[in-house]
Amino acid sequence: MKKLTSIFFVSGFALLSLPSFGQQKKWSLRECVEYALKNNISIKLTTLDVQTADVARSDARMAFLPTVNGQGSHSWNIGLNQNITTGLLQNQTTQFTSIGGTVGVDIYKGLQNQNRFSRARLAMVAAQYQLTKMQEDVALNIANSYLQILFNKENLKVQQQQLAIDTKQMERTQQLVDAGVVPQGDLLDVKATVATDNQNRITAENALLISKLSLAQLMQLENFQDFDTDDKDYPTDDTGVLLRSAAEIYNKAREERTVVKIARADVEVAEKDVKIAKGVYQPTIQGFYSFTTRAAYADRVVGYGPNLTTPTSVIGYIDGTNQAVVQNNFVPILGKREAILDQFDQNKGHSFGISLNVPIFNGFAARNGVERAKIALERSRITLQQQELDLEQTVYKAYTDAQGALNTYEAAKTTLAAREGSMNYARERYEVGLINVFDYNQSQTLYVNAQSEVLRTKYDFIFKVKILEFYFGVPISQITEKE
């Protein structure tokens, strides 16, 4: 805020080349603020942060839903493998397809999902507060730049008027020199004064162009060559906020200012983080369901027939007689593989149940997570206290600055009235030859400086009052225009 209250400055360097600003449209302060809020890059970036927080909130909401996953595989086995049809080992190439799906649902998880959802909602609120704060900062900067333009415009008028007056004085002095009434040196002094006036006018023009360009860039205005502001005057008698006490303004600001709301939201987020971290201590209960099925791309056994090559085989001998015990040999009769869909139907399987996970020891990871969350919570609480303290100091300083700016403005007007009277008196004395042109020019210079000081203190006072009203909840764009 300190950099925002350091309001007015006039550039002292000469501007070599800048595009001229047209007069197609006159922008009011409200229009400038509204345009900047839609187009400022910083606001656009902060808006993306709000969208990111909204996605995180959606993630936390979806965590309550069950998880569903599907899997599938198809494999080729080449080489010595067991024939699933005959049960024998043989060199072959086989293919298998398996598919399945699993469903899991959290029954109890230490309330972590609930706390994460609450945290996500609070983080969303905090992100929206950040966007509001960025909009307020941009509005303050717009008002600062806007009033700088108004000051430079009126200052340019003062310099132009002074140049016109001194030019007429130079013409009159030329006539007096030609008539032999005043010496040639007076004419040279007046010409030097006119040259200085012309230099001051050029400097004022350059300062006005720079201030217009600065505001146009701050607004992200593309066609800044045609940018200009309203020439309407702004009153200095609307000082109702100064009738309130600094304590009253601070109490209102403490409840309404976005920076404090952000700090409070951060505390609430940190409190949820502690609850989430403590949830790791508690057991978790999950329900699960699994479905699997498979299919093979191999011939199947459809029957058995006699082994014509080896019809029988000896399986043993009878004790005593040593007579061989013979059995008939059979071979499997292979048929085409079953349809894949039929295999999937025949081989399907289901499993379901409940799993319990009880944390016993995890290298103190859970405990350290809780401690980190507690430290972050304490840090956010201290930050809230600091923000409230900073706000109090800022409001009281803004209140004092506004009162001081009003007193300075009133003193500048008094000085201007005195300087104007002194200059008029000096003009009368110069015209009758009682003072020389150098003394008269000194009186004129003091008068011009007094005019510039009145303008500077006027807009300094307007802006500081607007800052004070801003803390009291009045939008920065609400500056009443004199018709």
CATH number of the domain residue 233 falls in: 1.20.1600.10
Q: What is the pTM of this model?
A: 0.71
pLDDT at residue 346, as a whole number: 84
Query: Domain for residue 16, yes or no?
Result: yes
Q: Closest by alpha carbon to 295, among 237, 362, 344, 226?
A: 344
Strand 349-357 relative to strand 312-317: parallel, antiparallel, unpaired?
unpaired
pLDDT at residue 472, as a whole number: 86
Query: Domain for residue 467, yes or no?
Result: yes
Query: Domain for residue 405, yes or no?
Result: yes
Work out the pLDDT band at 123, boundaries 50, 70, 90.
very high
pLDDT at residue 444, as a whole number: 84
Query: Domain for residue 312, yes or no?
Result: no
Strand 300-306 relative to strand 330-335: parallel, antiparallel, unpaired?
antiparallel
Number of Cβ within a 10 Å radius of residue 319? 7
pLDDT at 480 over 80: no
- The mean-pLDDT minimum among 23-32, 200-209, 333-342, 432-441 falls in 333-342
pLDDT at 367 over 50: yes
Alpha-carbon radius of gyration of the chain: 44
Query: Domain for residue 460, yes or no?
Result: yes
Work out the pLDDT band at 144, boundaries 50, 70, 90.
confident
pLDDT at residue 385, as a whole number: 94
pLDDT at 241 over 90: no
Q: Per-residue pLDDT tens for 278-320?
A: 888 889 899 989 999 988 776 666 677 788 788 888 777 787 7
The count of domains in the chain is: 1
Work out the pLDDT band at 85, boundaries 50, 70, 90.
low
In Å, how far from its chain's centre is CA 299? 66
- Which structural domain, as residue segments, surrounds residue 149? 2-298+337-471
Percentage of residues of the chain with pLDDT beyond 90: 28
- Higher-scoring residue by pLDDT: 84, 394: 394
Mean pLDDT for 47-57 is 93
pLDDT at residue 83, as a whole number: 63
Rounded Cα–Cα distance for residues 462 and 146 (Å): 12
Work out the pLDDT band at 23, boundaries 50, 70, 90.
very low
- Higher-scoring residue by pLDDT: 83, 36: 36
Structure tokens given for 88 = 């024998």
Work out the pLDDT band at 74, boundaries 50, 70, 90.
confident
pLDDT at 373 over 50: yes
Task: Report yes or no: 458 and 482 within 8 Å, Cβ to Cβ.
Answer: no
pLDDT at residue 50, as a whole number: 94
- The mean-pLDDT minimum among 199-203, 336-340, 342-346 falls in 336-340
Query: Domain for residue 362, yes or no?
Result: yes
Task: Report yes or no: 471 and 253 within 8 Å, Cβ to Cβ.
Answer: yes
Query: Domain for residue 328, yes or no?
Result: no
Rounded Cα–Cα distance for residues 443 and 419 (Å): 8
pLDDT at residue 392, as a whole number: 92
Mean pLDDT for 379-402 is 92
Residue 18 phi, psi (nearest 5): -140, 145
- Higher-scoring residue by pLDDT: 324, 378: 378
Q: How far is CA 204 from CA 5, 22, 137, 149, 459, in A?
A: 22, 18, 28, 11, 16
Mean pLDDT for 29-33 is 87
Mean pLDDT for 437-461 is 86
Q: Per-residue pLDDT tens for 223-238?
A: 777 788 887 766 676 6
Mean of the per-residue pLDDT values of the chain: 83
Query: Domain for residue 331, yes or no?
Result: no
